[in-house]
């Protein structure tokens, strides 16, 4: 017992964070289309509104706190932190707004991060500028960048446009800072990572797993995510975030 106490005091003296002792597990969920699958696109990238609502209800009923990247510092302060991220900026993401409206209470405040492709805003099946303004003002959503045209960034000849211009365009629409990037296809390399650090504070990948803060170099730009698919059952959902 004395050895444990001595080690704890030593950590405090050295100024090491308490997370070294209790490493908080932070699930970051990845979605795309929240809609019924009607034969267009990849079925696995869809989650029906019914299933999405069941999943959010599970989080509500099991004491999770939904965060966005603006509240990253709260991951060690709140009970059971979790992030909902939704890539590509599809029009059907408006279904999430309706579900959040239904589920919100004084104690449960649902939030999600939408990673939108800036040059695709306003296309037929994508969120419009007015949609994005509405979602940003609702308090439910943080609007962040999925680049300008969704290329493989390791092959792009214009990273400044993909990273900086997309950020600025989204900020002009929402009037709020864009601090997080979702790498298209989850592809990046050391050069892309260094360029990303010039404009963003966070980068999310498609590497599967739960994030555990360890204080490693660049860990906020290498964030893993748990993909939720069309056939993901509620039991599988619960197991993935409690793993």
Plot region of 38 (φ>0 → left; ψ -120 to 50 → alpha; else → beta): alpha
Over the stretch 185-234, which tens digit does the pLDDT of each residue have?
A: 999 999 999 999 999 999 999 999 999 999 999 999 999 999 999 999 99
pLDDT top residue among 19 and 239: 239
Please give the Cα distance from 118 to 171 (Å, whole number): 10
State if pTM tops 0.85: yes
Looking at the chain, the whole-number percentage of residues with pLDDT higher than 90 is 88
**Model pLDDT, residue 22:** 53
Instruction: Decide if pLDDT at 38 tops 80.
Output: yes
Plot region of 210 (φ>0 → left; ψ -120 to 50 → alpha; else → beta): beta
**Within 13 Å of residue 168, how many CA atoms lie on the same side as its CB?**
6
**Model pLDDT, residue 123:** 97
What domains are defined for the chain?
A: 22-241 (3.20.20.370)
**Model pLDDT, residue 216:** 95
Over the stretch 113-167, which tens digit does the pLDDT of each residue have?
A: 999 999 999 999 999 999 999 999 999 999 999 999 999 999 999 999 999 999 9
| 243 — pLDDT class (breaks 50, 70, 90) | confident
Please give the Cα distance from 167 to 149 (Å, whole number): 12
Instruction: Decide if pLDDT at 10 tops 50.
Output: no
**Distances, alpha carbon 1 to alpha carbons 14, 41, 51, in Å:** 20, 59, 48
Contacts for 89 with CB less than 8 Å, ≥ 6 apart: 114, 115, 116, 117, 120, 121, 126, 127, 132, 146
Cβ atoms 224, 28 nearer than 8 A: yes
Instruction: Decide if pLDDT at 15 tops 70.
Output: no
């Amino acid at each position: 017992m004395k050895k444990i106490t001595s080690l704890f005091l030593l950590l405090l003296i050295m100024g090491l964070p308490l997370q070294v002792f209790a490493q908080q597990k932070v699930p970051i969920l990845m979605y795309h289309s929240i809609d019924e699958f009607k034969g267009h696109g990849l079925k696995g990238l869809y989650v029906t509104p019914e299933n999405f609502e069941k999943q959010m209800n599970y989080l509500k009923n099991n004491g999770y706190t939904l965060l966005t990247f603006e509240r990253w510092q709260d991951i060690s302060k709140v009970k059971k932190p979790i992030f909902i991220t939704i890539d590509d900026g599809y029009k059907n993401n408006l279904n999430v707004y309706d579900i959040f409206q239904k589920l919100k209470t004084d104690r449960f405040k649902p939030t999600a991060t939408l990673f939108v492709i800036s040059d695709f805003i306003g296309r037929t099946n994508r969120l419009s500028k007015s949609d994005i303004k509405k979602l940003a003002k609702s308090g439910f959503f943080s609007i962040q960048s999925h680049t300008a045209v969704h290329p493989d960034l390791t092959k792009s000849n214009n990273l400044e446009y993909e990273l900086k211009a997309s950020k600025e365009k989204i900020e002009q629409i929402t009037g709020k800072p864009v601090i997080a990037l979702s790498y298209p296809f989850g592809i990046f390399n050391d050069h892309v990572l260094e360029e990303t650090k010039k404009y963003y504070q966070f980068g999310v990948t498609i590497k599967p797993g739960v994030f555990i803060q360890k204080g490693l170099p660049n860990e906020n730009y290498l964030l893993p995510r748990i993909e939720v698919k069309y056939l993901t059952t509620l039991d599988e959902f619960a197991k993935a975030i409690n793993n």
